[in-house]
Chain A
């Protein structure tokens, strides 16, 4: 895991120096995975768009296929910014998850309120050596999720969170 200094523009006051652990980012492998998914959807879309327009209307219309390509180009950069924005920190009593570039979100889940910690890893994620950690509390709206962890880190987090959750469990 890489421990990084917070970038400008993203709140760094949230990190609690007393807790001793700083912010951690996501695995770099998540970025190529997401970019691959982006291209895998938008490139065929561009080709299909160009073909369909050339066969039906003709003329200059197939140039519209540039739109999906432009979206792919923008998405390429946006995914990078989004990947950099994801961070999480374990503090003494709670877990912080920060994400988002334009619309920023910071979720705080106290260890005592965690009811279930789940680690999932799909086929593509496994190929890239990644796992996703999901936290469940009694509130269904708490969709605290950390994608793009290394499997070892995900398991370490799961065990630690479960242990802390048991230690600080508070009833409803």
Chain B
């Protein structure tokens, strides 16, 4: 019976899609399915359901919440007209579990913000326009726009679903342009649950999936909090190679806390950062100067100052809020990072995928022997470094790093770094004192920075290519630079080394 379509158990394999590529994304053309074609599909599905039927009992426990939250009522609404007229009013609901019904509201604020931004941008024009507004227009706008927006929100939620099969997670989205993302479970690298502030209030969470070979992260927003955690646990267990039946029963893998950044340490460390002072000061000075001398109206000051204040926020207090209660825990899936005062973020750093590590030591942190640890992980785009530890004592950081880079002696790295030769001062006068480079059995180590230090560690096993570069003036002084590219698109440069040393480095000790 075609009208029962949404009731079909989510594990049913859809004959049509199952044969498409295993991973990657497909843009499906919009299709309007009438009852006849749907019946056909239902038939093909009935045949295809059998192979995956054995894992049905295992997943039942997980389906229960999905059906409870909103699924029940919406399903009734959708099917009533279909039963009456033989044709559906609503488009075909893709099989699979549904997102949390709060989801359509998440973009509700966007048009409002756009209007506000337009008003702030050009106050005079906005006032002029407001003069033309009559109650009739306002009513018309509200009467037309609101239902349209609400309808669109509802329909896009209606058309979005996810489905966990034996081998992959399928996410279907799109009202007009259907898109199906097939994420192969054995390629899942990380699954992060994040809870933005508003979502926290609503009791929902966002699930972000990092899959090898895809450019952007796919996300499921929003799921009920318990559902999100359960799905994350199951995905990770399946990604680790557990059988489906065990995976759903396994629950969250146990984790052991390795490090927790005390609020006091975090606040002190942030205050000791020069950027925490300089950026807000410069911004405040700029805004004041603008307000006193240049500005015609308060609006203009606001329009100019708000982005600057946002910038200042992200360097000062915002940093504390973001990195509040930073916890690093060890679990079989990798290192878990939890952080945030308002928005709680949960990240997983998969073991063995770390390509490079950077230790940052600002000048004023050195007395406390504090470092900040940043990672470059394969699969993440560009050279945006993820933070592993916002601030910790060096020994603590080394202990955590030992888990991230198994078999690598991180503690020996700083000692191995030797300064650039004295004559390097002829190429780079003062700063050459900060240039250091060294090799250990497992690591390529470089350091730069005279006051604040940055040490980059690249394991030899992750080096993709090595480059020797020498300009004319460097050749005169018998100096050269050696650059190492890691697998995450980053690089580390040992600057101004002795020419012979550099050449031996590039050509000599290759595996």
User: A residues engaging B (CB < 8 A)?
Assistant: 11, 13-14, 16, 91, 93-94, 96, 102-110, 112-113, 137-142, 144, 170, 172
Contacts and interface: CB of A to CB of B under 8 A. Distances in A.
Given A104-B470, A137-B485, A139-B485, A14 B507 contact: yes
Contacts of B485: 137, 139, 141-142
What are the nearest 3 A-B pairs in CB distance?
A139-B485, A139-B464, A106-B468
20 contacts: A11-B503, A13-B507, A14-B503, A16-B507, A96-B507, A103-B469, A104-B468, A104-B470, A106-B506, A107-B465, A107-B468, A108-B466, A108-B468, A108-B510, A137-B487, A138-B487, A139-B491, A141-B485, A141-B489, A142-B485
B439 to A, nearest CB: 15
Contacts of A140: 489
B489 A93 contact: no
B397 to A, nearest CB: 24
Contacts of B489: 139-141
Nearest to B382: A140
B462 interface: yes
**Dominant SS among interface residues on chain B:** mixed
A105 B468 CA distance: 5
A11 B500 CA distance: 10
B295 to A, nearest CB: 44
A107 B482 CA distance: 10
A142 to B, nearest CB: 4
Nearest to A142: B465
Interface in B445-492: 461-472, 475, 485-491
B464 A108 contact: no
Given A14-B506, A139-B487, A102 B465 contact: no
B510 A107 contact: no
Contact of A107 (B355, B462, B466, B491): B466
Contacts of A105: 467-470
Contacts of A13: 503, 507
A96 B508 CA distance: 12
Contacts of A139: 464-465, 485-491
B148 to A, nearest CB: 43
Nearest to A13: B503
Most-contacted residue by chain B among A96, A103, A140 (CB, 10 A): A140
Given A94-B510, A107-B468, A109-B465, 5 more contacts: A11-B503, A104-B468, A107-B466, A108-B507, A137-B465
Given A96-B507, A110-B510, A138 B378 contact: yes
Interface in B346-383: 353, 355, 378
A129 B147 CA distance: 65
A160 B212 CA distance: 28
Interface string B315-336: 0000000000000000000000
Nearest to A170: B461
B101 to A, nearest CB: 40
B485 to A, nearest CB: 4
A104 B485 CA distance: 18
A110 B465 contact: yes
Nearest to B355: A172
Contacts of A109: 464-465
Given A11-B503, A14-B503, A108-B510, A103 B487 contact: no
Contacts of B463: 110, 113
Contacts of A94: 510
B353 A172 contact: yes
